[in-house]
Amino acid sequence: MAETTLKCYVFQFLSNTLPSNPSDFCTMHPMPKLFIDTVGCQMNVLDSELVVGSLRRQGYELTTDPKSADVILFNTCSVREHAEEKIYSALGKLRGHKEAHPEKVIGVLGCMAQKDQEIVTKRAPYVDIVCGPGQLARVPELIDAAKKSRKKQYAFSLGRADAGKLEVTQSFESYDPNRDPTMRPTPFQAYVRIQLGCDKFCTYCIVPSVRGPEQGRHPDHILAEVKQLAGEGCKEINLLGQTVNSYKFDHGDGRKSRLSDLLYRIQDVAGIDRIKFVTSFPKDMSDDLIQAVRDLPKACKYLHVPAQHGDDVMLKKMKRLYTVSYYKEMVQRCREAMPNVAISSDFIVGFCGETEEQFATCGELIRFARFKNSFIFKYSPRRGTKADELYKDDVPEEVKKRRNNDLLAVQAEISAADHQSQINTEVEVLVESPSKAALKEQGQSAYTEHTQLTGRTMTDHIVVFEGHPRLIGQTIKVHIDQASPWTLFGTVQTDENVAVTGDLDILPAIARLPDRKIELSLVQLLAYR
């Protein structure tokens, strides 16, 4: 999953006797505040939403400023070194602050915490809490214990080799408590975890170690969560899993549920208009799933299926379990079923031993598959992975950088052609928020005055257009006038553009938390791959 940055602002802690309106107490008790910064994929964004939700139920309140917070949390990522360094740098900035205010609680949560339990404590000895992604349910208790005891608090899941599979699996809890609607990127879009962990063990990847064994959540629990979200006004559900299309649940009575079964059930949930899922593993792109996406009107015709490389030797070294010709055949199967399906990919450039010829095959694959977009990463060796153990990281950094840029240029050419072909068409857009530019220029007023808005089509294309923010949360028709490689620009088709419907209830929901709204809108823009 792609790297994103999210700042959520956590809350003031109220004691056991909560008033009906917590703000009634604010003037009476100087309440401690909490700040949370999230780096990483959508799974981390969801984890942060859930951590903040559980703290909120205990009366916490968010702040945007870490230094004004009494509890400062970092939800971390360990997929690439860069993501880790960002966190250490943020922690470094807090060193003096913590020395001056020893009563403040600093916590490192998530994948880096699980991977580098001791290193975190060594590099930032003033951190009070270190908690892996499989133990997030314990965060409120850990904060309390840290405050009371002034001792370091640790909570980790078992390592993959520390015990039998069942025991290791059980140490990664499915952390999906009741949702808090105010903590979502927008009130009408929500992530729903359907799967934990990963069992693929691609040689470069740390995820199977830090997120544990693959486990599918019970479909009834997923459905209950989706219905709850629909009841709260949510229109778009994004199902999350590291290899989401490998999702399976064995009911123990001979019945098995697959992702396609889930899609059929969610199709029937009133109020939900769009269903997406990320991230798919190429080998598990089964025909039943392709048919479900084709046949279900609510299923977005968008598949994120990372190829990672265009060369068989590299794919084998990465242990991706498929060949380039398999991948191409999979793309063809998807396009035969859905000629207009948008497919996106991830690529790793500069993996161990990659030659110029091998690198060039990635561009060839982009041209063949005509990806809507690709996320391109420079290989970053991760301690504890097979690739780090077996192969030398021998492609120099400047070469990785150049290959990254070259591949982006190929993708930009393909994306530009795809976008050009959409000029003068009409697309259905779910309006998400003011555009990044509008938020930068207008600040809060972008939520109340005519502005530049952004949204996505059913194929996950980003569309920017002028309109009133009351359109946020509505699905409208937009005529595409212009295109850049990464964005479509259009005009709202007037029949729908000022329709006043019950959907407008969404705006007050966004406006309720004035400090949060801009940040969360940015999150939403960044969080989508």
- Chain contacts with ligand 5AD (rule: CB under 6 A): 1, 79-80, 204-205, 306, 308, 346, 348, 377, 379-380, 382
In the list ligand 5AD, ligand SF4, none, the entry touching 281 (Cβ below 5 to 8 angstroms by class) is ligand SF4
- Minimum CB separation from ligand SF4 for residue 201, in Å? 6
Residue 198 as a binder of ligand SF4 (CB under 6 A): the answer is: yes
Residue choice 123, 200, 227, 468 for contact with ligand SF4 (CB under 6 A): 200
- Who contacts 40 (Cβ-Cβ below 8 Å, separation ≥6)? 1, 3, 4, 75, 76, 77, 79, 83, 110, 111
Nearer to ligand 5AD (CB atom), residue 125 or residue 396: 396
Nearer to ligand 5AD (CB atom), residue 79 or residue 462: 79
Place of tokens 């740390």: 206
- Minimum CB separation from ligand 5AD for residue 135, in Å? 22
Separation CA 495–CA 482 (nearest Å): 21
H or E element that contains 154: strand 153-155
Burial of 514 (0-12, 13-18, 19+ CB in 10 A): exposed
Query: Which residue stretches of 343-456 are H helix?
Result: 356-369, 386-390, 397-420, 436-442
As given in the structure block, the two tokens for residue 63 are 């702040």
Residue 349 as a binder of ligand SF4 (CB under 6 A): the answer is: no
Burial of 361 (0-12, 13-18, 19+ CB in 10 A): buried
Nearer to ligand SF4 (CB atom), residue 305 or residue 488: 305
- Minimum CB separation from ligand 5AD for residue 308, in Å? 6
As given in the structure block, the two tokens for residue 180 are 């808090």
- Minimum CB separation from ligand SF4 for residue 447, in Å? 36
Q: Are 343 and 290 in contact (CB under 8 A)?
A: no
Separation CA 344–CA 454 (nearest Å): 20
Q: x/- string (CB under 6 A) for ligand SF4, residues 268-287?
A: -------------x------
Nearest to 407 by CA among 323, 484, 349, 353: 349
Nearest to 199 by CA among 133, 251, 246: 246
Q: x/- string (CB under 6 A) for ligand SF4, residues 211-250?
A: -------------------------------xx-------
How many CB atoms are closer than 10 A to CB 13? 21
- Minimum CB separation from ligand SF4 for residue 32, in Å? 36
Nearer to ligand SF4 (CB atom), residue 330 or residue 429: 330
H or E element that contains 324: helix 324-337
In the list ligand 5AD, ligand SF4, none, the entry touching 326 (Cβ below 5 to 8 angstroms by class) is none
Residue choice 31, 39, 196, 205 for contact with ligand SF4 (CB under 6 A): 205
Nearer to ligand SF4 (CB atom), residue 242 or residue 459: 242
- Minimum CB separation from ligand SF4 for residue 312, in Å? 17
Residue 207 as a binder of ligand SF4 (CB under 6 A): the answer is: yes
Burial of 253 (0-12, 13-18, 19+ CB in 10 A): exposed
Nearer to ligand 5AD (CB atom), residue 153 or residue 404: 404
- Minimum CB separation from ligand 5AD for residue 306, in Å? 4
Residue 327 as a binder of ligand SF4 (CB under 6 A): the answer is: no
Q: Which stretch binds ligand SF4 (CB under 6 A): 193-201, 218-226, 404-412, 422-430?
A: 193-201
Residues, the chain: 529
Nearest to 171 by CA among 143, 129, 137, 202: 137
How many CB atoms are closer than 10 A to CB 255? 10
- Minimum CB separation from ligand 5AD for residue 522, in Å? 20
User: Which amino acid, 102?
Assistant: P
Separation CA 24–CA 31 (nearest Å): 12
In the list ligand SF4, ligand 5AD, none, the entry touching 208 (Cβ below 5 to 8 angstroms by class) is ligand SF4
In the list ligand 5AD, ligand SF4, none, the entry touching 380 (Cβ below 5 to 8 angstroms by class) is ligand 5AD
Nearer to ligand 5AD (CB atom), residue 386 or residue 479: 386
How many CB atoms are closer than 10 A to CB 503? 18
Nearer to ligand 5AD (CB atom), residue 247 or residue 379: 379
What residue ranges bind ligand SF4 (CB under 6 A)? 198, 200-202, 205, 207-208, 242-243, 281
